[in-house]
C-alpha cells in the first residue's frame, strides 16, 4: 500500500455514493466536451472562400431579411459568375411541428444544374418543371414519411401565407432525388408558384442566392465584388461559402457560444455544490479516522493533502472518463453534424482545458475539507468516536 | 532499569463555556523502561488526559514531560508527529481501525511514514500480525473480524514500528471478559517478552491486576500507588 492507495481506498469508502458522484462529474465533462466542440464548430471556419466553385449570397444583416429577385441579372453580370439560382426559407409545418425538414421554393432546372450532387431522373425533373404545384423530395425524406409519387403534401405556412390569407399550401409529389454525398432531407417546390401565390410581402423576394463561379481560384475576389455591388443598395449582401452560410444561419438562431458557456457554467456550478457537499459529508464521517492517522504520526499537512488529493482524484477520474466518452460520442454523431455545423471535433486545447478544469474543481471542492482536516486536534476528534 | 517517562508539575487546563477547567494539577510521575503501569480512577479524574500528554497527542498547560529523554512540551506539531510515529504505539478502546483497509494494510499504515520499501513494510506487517496471532486474517477487513480480533489488529499496528512505549486507553472496555483476558495476556507478553513499556488506562480492577504498577487518580491528581 502507498499513500495513493490509501487515498484511493478512502475514496471508495461508500461505493454507491462515490460511483454516483463520479457519474455526475463524468456527465458534466461529457457535456463540456460536446458543447465546446459545438461552440468551436460555430465559431470556427472563418470566411475563407478560396477554392470553392459555389458561393452563397445572403442578406447582410439577418436571415429574416429578403433580397429582391431583380438582383439576379446583376449577379449574372458579375465577371466570373456562370450561373445564379435563388432559394427561400419556407418554414411551415408538415402535420406536426416536430416533423422538421427544410422546404425551399426553387427554380427547378437551375436548382438541379447548380447542385449536381442532387440526382434526379430527367423524366421526374421534366414533371417538376411542368407541374405548377409540383414538389420533389430527397429520397430518404420521402421514405421517412411514406410519400409516393402523386401524393399531396400539405404544408401549413407560418412565415408565408397565400395572398388569399390561406395558410395551407398543398404540393403534389412528382419526383424524388438522391444526394450522392450524404443524407439531405429537403423538399423543394416551384419558386414560380410560390411567388405568384404568396402574400404580397413575399412576392419577388428570395432568401439567398447560390452563385456558380467559372474559376474557383477567384472565389475571394468575386465574393468581394458581389458584396461591393450591393453595398449601397437597400439590400446589401454577405457572400460566403456554403459551410460558412450554414454556420451563420444556425448562429442567428442564437449565440451558440454564449448559450454553451452558460450551460457549462451552470453544470459546473452544480457539480461544485454537489461534489463539495459529498466531500464535506465524507469528511464529517471520517473525523475520528483522520485523528487516528494523526495519532499514528501523519502530520497536519499530510492529512490535509490526503483529503485534498481524494477530491482532486475524484474529479480527475470523472473528468477523464467524461473526456473518453466524449470521443466515443463524437465518433458516433460527427458525420451527421458535420454537414450542418462544420467540423465537430475536439482540439488539444479543449482536452487540456477539461483536464485543468477537473483539477481546478477538485481543488475547489477539496480545499475546505482539507483545511478542516488540517485543523482537527487529535484529542477533540477522537472524542467524536 | 532506566527511566523512560518523567512528568514534572504537569498541569492541563481547558476553557469550557468561558470557564477554565483544571483537568490535571501538579502531576509528578516517573515510569521505568519495561514497566506495565495501570492508571485507574473515576470518570473525569484525568486518566486519559495524562495518557494523551505522555503519548504526545496533546501538550501540557505547564510543567514538563520527558519520554526517552526527549522533552515533549515544546515540540512543534510536525516534530511531535514524527516523534509519535517512531516512539509510541497507541491502542484505543474502540480499536480505531480504518474500515476501508484490510488487517494487513491497517497494520502497515504507520510504516507509510518511513523509508521502508513496500516489500519490507508488508513483511513487517506480517510479523506484527503473527505476534498477535492473526496472520491468517491478514486480508480481512475490520468489519469481518470480531471485537477481540480487531483489537489484536490494533495492537499489531501499535507494534509494527517497534516503539518502546505502548499507551492503551481502556483496551478491553469494549470486550467480553474472556476476550479481554486474552488481550491483557497479550499485553503482558509484549511487556515481558518484547520489553515494551505499557501505560494502560482502565476502570477495571481485573485488567489493572495484569499491570506491575497501578496508580489511582482523582480530580486531576495522582492520589495513590496501589500495591500490586
The pLDDT tens digits of the residues spanning B11-60 come to: 999 888 788 888 999 899 999 999 999 999 988 889 999 999 999 999 99
On chain B, the residues whose CB falls within 8 A of the CB of A289 are 96, 98-99
**pLDDT digits 0-9 by tens, B173-200:** 888 888 888 899 989 998 998 889 999 9
The predicted structure's pLDDT at residue A384: 66
Q: Looking at residue A147, what DSSP letter applies?
A: -
**pLDDT digits 0-9 by tens, B66-101:** 998 899 988 888 999 999 999 999 998 888 899 999
Query: Which residue pairs, CB below 8 angstroms and at least 24 apart, start in B115-122?
Result: B118/A1, B118/A2, B121/A1
- Expressed as residue numbers, the domain containing B85 is 3-95+164-226
Both ends of chain A: CA-CA distance in Å?
A: 26
Which of A358-362, B18-22, B146-150 is predicted with the least confidence, judged by mean pLDDT? B18-22
The domain tally of chain B equals: 1
Interchain proximity B101–A297, CB inside 8 Å: no
pLDDT more than 90, % of chain A: 58
CA distance B14 to B27: 16
Cβ(B30)–Cβ(B199) below 8 Å: no
Interchain proximity B98–A298, CB inside 8 Å: no
The predicted structure's pLDDT at residue B18: 83
Interchain proximity B81–A293, CB inside 8 Å: no
Number of CB atoms found within 10 A of residue A211's CB: 25
Question: What number is the ipTM of this complex?
Answer: 0.91
Q: Chain-wide mean pLDDT for chain A?
A: 87
The predicted structure's pLDDT at residue A44: 54
Residues 37-96 of B with CB under 8 A from A: 52, 55, 57-58, 77-78, 81-82, 84-86, 90, 92, 94, 96
Residue closest to B171 by CA, chosen among B151, B153, B188, B197: B151
CA distance A291 to A283: 11
**pLDDT digits 0-9 by tens, B95-135:** 889 999 999 999 999 999 888 899 999 999 999 999 888 88
Interchain proximity B78–A299, CB inside 8 Å: yes
On chain A, the residues whose CB falls within 8 A of the CB of B77 are 299-300
CA-CA-CA-CA torsion for B128, B131, B137, B141, nearest 10 degrees?
-40
Query: Which residue pairs, CB below 8 angstroms and at least 24 apart, start in B114-123?
Result: B114/B85, B114/B161, B118/A1, B118/A2, B121/A1
Interface test with A, best of B60, B88, B98 (most A CBs within 10 A): B98
Interchain proximity B109–A6, CB inside 8 Å: yes
**Which CATH number fits the domain that encloses residue B41?**
3.40.50.300
Residue closest to A59 by CA, chosen among A236, A224, A220, A204: A236
On chain B, the residues whose CB falls within 8 A of the CB of A5 are 105
Give the pLDDT mean for A128-137.
96
Interchain proximity A297–B113, CB inside 8 Å: yes
CA distance A377 to chain B (A): 8
Residue A185 pLDDT > 90:
no
Largest CA distance in chain B: 52
Residue A174, H or E segment: strand A168-179
Residue closest to A213 by CA, chosen among A185, A194, A241, A187: A241
- The answer to whether B12 contacts chain A (CB < 8 Å) is no
List CB contacts of A323: < 8 A, sequence separation 6 or more: A29, A33, A351, A354, A355
Instruction: Locate A75 and state its grid cell.
Output: 449577379
DSSP A306-353: HHHHHHHHHHHHHHHHHHHHHHHHHHHHHHHHHHHHS-----HHHHHH
Give the CB-side neighbour count of residue B63, counting CA atoms within 13 A: 22
CA distance B55 to chain A (A): 9
pTM: 0.69
Interface test with B, best of A12, A13, A295 (most B CBs within 10 A): A295
Comparing alpha-carbon positions, the chain B residue that sits nearest to A292 is: B96
- The answer to whether A15 contacts chain B (CB < 8 Å) is no
How many residues belong to chain A?
A: 385
> Which of A13, A292, A299 is opposite residue B81, by nearest beta carbon?
A299
Q: Note whether residue B29 is domain-resident.
A: yes
Give the pLDDT mean for A279-306.
90
Residues 295-334 of A with CB under 8 A from B: 295-302
Q: Where are the domains of chain A?
A: 3-45+255-383, 54-251
Interchain proximity B85–A289, CB inside 8 Å: no
Comparing alpha-carbon positions, the chain B residue that sits nearest to A10 is: B100
Q: Note whether residue B172 is domain-resident.
A: yes
CB crowding A147-182: b at 16 or more within 10 Å, else e: beeebebebebeebbbeeeeeebebbbbbbbebeee
Q: Note whether residue B105 is domain-resident.
A: no
Amino acid at each position: 500500500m502507498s499513500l495513493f492507495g490509501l487515498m484511493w481506498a478512502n475514496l471508495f469508502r461508500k461505493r454507491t455514493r462515490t460511483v454516483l458522484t463520479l457519474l455526475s462529474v463524468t456527465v458534466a465533462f461529457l457535456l463540456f466536451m460536446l458543447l465546446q466542440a459545438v461552440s468551436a464548430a460555430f465559431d470556427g471556419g472563418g470566411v475563407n472562400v478560396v477554392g470553392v466553385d459555389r458561393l452563397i449570397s445572403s442578406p447582410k444583416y439577418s436571415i429574416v431579411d429578403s433580397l429582391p429577385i431583380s438582383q439576379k441579372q446583376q449577379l449574372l453580370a458579375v465577371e466570373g459568375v456562370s450561373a445564379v439560382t435563388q432559394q427561400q426559407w419556407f418554414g411551415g409545418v408538415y402535420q406536426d411541428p416536430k416533423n422538421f425538414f427544410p422546404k425551399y421554393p426553387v427554380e427547378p432546372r437551375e436548382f438541379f444544374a447548380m447542385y449536381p450532387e442532387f440526382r434526379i431522373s430527367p423524366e421526374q425533373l421534366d414533371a417538376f418543371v411542368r407541374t405548377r404545384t409540383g414538389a420533389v423530395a430527397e429520397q430518404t425524406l420521402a421514405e421517412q414519411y411514406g410519400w409516393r409519387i402523386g401524393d399531396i403534401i400539405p404544408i401549413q405556412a407560418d412565415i408565408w401565407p397565400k395572398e388569399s390569407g390561406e395558410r395551407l399550401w398543398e404540393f403534389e409529389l412528382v419526383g424524388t432525388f438522391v444526394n450522392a454525398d450524404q443524407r439531405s432531407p429537403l423538399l423543394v417546390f416551384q419558386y414560380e408558384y410560390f411567388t405568384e401565390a404568396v402574400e404580397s410581402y413575399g412576392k419577388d423576394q428570395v432568401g439567398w442566392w447560390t452563385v456558380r463561379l467559372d474559376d474557383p481560384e477567384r472565389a475571394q475576389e468575386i465574393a468581394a465584388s458581389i458584396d461591393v455591388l450591393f453595398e449601397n443598395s437597400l439590400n446589401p449582401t454577405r457572400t460566403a461559402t456554403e459551410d460558412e452560410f450554414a454556420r451563420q444561419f444556425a448562429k442567428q438562431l442564437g449565440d451558440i457560444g454564449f448559450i454553451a458557456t452558460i450551460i457549462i457554467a451552470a453544470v459546473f456550478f452544480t457539480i461544485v455544490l454537489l461534489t463539495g457537499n459529498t466531500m464535506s459529508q465524507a469528511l464529517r464521517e471520517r473525523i475520528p479516522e483522520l485523528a487516528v492517522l494523526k495519532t499514528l504520526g501523519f502530520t497536519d499537512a499530510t492529512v490535509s493533502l490526503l483529503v485534498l488529493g481524494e477530491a482532486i482524484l475524484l474529479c480527475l477520474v470523472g473528468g477523464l472518463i467524461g473526456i473518453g466518452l466524449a470521443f466515443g460520442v463524437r465518433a458516433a454523431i460527427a458525420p451527421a453534424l458535420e454537414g450542418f455545423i462544420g467540423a465537430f471535433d475536439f482540439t488539444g486545447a479543449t482536452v487540456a482545458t477539461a483536464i485543468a478544469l477537473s483539477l481546478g474543481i477538485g481543488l475547489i471542492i477539496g480545499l475546505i475539507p482539507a483545511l478542516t482536516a488540517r485543523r482537527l486536534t487529535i484529542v477533540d476528534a477522537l472524542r467524536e468516536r | 532499569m532506566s527511566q523512560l517517562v518523567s512528568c514534572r508539575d504537569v498541569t492541563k487546563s481547558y476553557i469550557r463555556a468561558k470557564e477554565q477547567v483544571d483537568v490535571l494539577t501538579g502531576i509528578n510521575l516517573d515510569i521505568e523502561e519495561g514497566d506495565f503501569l495501570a492508571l485507574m480512577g473515576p470518570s473525569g479524574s484525568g486518566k486519559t488526559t495524562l495518557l494523551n500528554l505522555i503519548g504526545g497527542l496533546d501538550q501540557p498547560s505547564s510543567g514538563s514531560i520527558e519520554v526517552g529523554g526527549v522533552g515533549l512540551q515544546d515540540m512543534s506539531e510536525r516534530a511531535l508527529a514524527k516523534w509519535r510515529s517512531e516512539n509510541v504505539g497507541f491502542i484505543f478502546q474502540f480499536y480505531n481501525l480504518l474500515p476501508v483497509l484490510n488487517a494487513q494494510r491497517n497494520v502497515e499504515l504507520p510504516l507509510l511514514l518511513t523509508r521502508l520499501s513496500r516489500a519490507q513494510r508488508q513483511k513487517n506487517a506480517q510479523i506484527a500480525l503473527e505476534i498477535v496471532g492473526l496472520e491468517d486474517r491478514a486480508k480481512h477487513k475490520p468489519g469481518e473480524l470480531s471485537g477481540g480480533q480487531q483489537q489484536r489488529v490494533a495492537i499489531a499496528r501499535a507494534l509494527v514500528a517497534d516503539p518502546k512505549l505502548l499507551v492503551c486507553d481502556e483496551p478491553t472496555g469494549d470486550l467480553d471478559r474472556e476476550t479481554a483476558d486474552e488481550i491483557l495476556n497479550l499485553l503482558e507478553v509484549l511487556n515481558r517478552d518484547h520489553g515494551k513499556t505499557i501505560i494502560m488506562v482502565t476502570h477495571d480492577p481485573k485488567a489493572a491486576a495484569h499491570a506491575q504498577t497501578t496508580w489511582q487518580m482523582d480530580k486531576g491528581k495522582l492520589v495513590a500507588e496501589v500495591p500490586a
